[in-house]
Amino acid sequence: MESLTQLGMVKSDQGELVEARRLLERAVALDPAHVNALVSLGVAALRAGDPTSAQAPLEQALALSPGNPPTPSAPSARRS
């Protein structure tokens, strides 16, 4: 499951957003409480220009970790 998340983050960084989202959706399906996968899925959706799809996974990640808002480790999430 962690490998799906990592591969999804790499694909997102490479601009392969359809594949990134597919992989990250699989990771979340396997573990709906995996905060990094949720955040990475939200970031990939935002990068794809789909803020509506980004909202649910980002809100879920925040609900799972309310005192420590998660940030994905993917370089794409750190870009300004």
The predicted-structure confidence for 22-80, as pLDDT tens digits, reads as follows: 999 999 999 999 999 999 999 999 999 999 999 999 999 999 988 766 565 545 444 43
Q: 54: which 2 tokens? A: 């980004």
pTM > 0.75: yes or no: yes
Q: Is residue 14 part of a domain?
A: yes
Residue 78 to residue 80: CA distance in whole angstroms: 6
Sequence-separated (6 or more) residues with CB below 8 Å from residue 47: 12, 17, 76
Q: Is residue 19 part of a domain?
A: yes
Q: Is residue 75 part of a domain?
A: no
Count of the separate structural domains present in the chain: 1
Q: Is residue 47 part of a domain?
A: yes
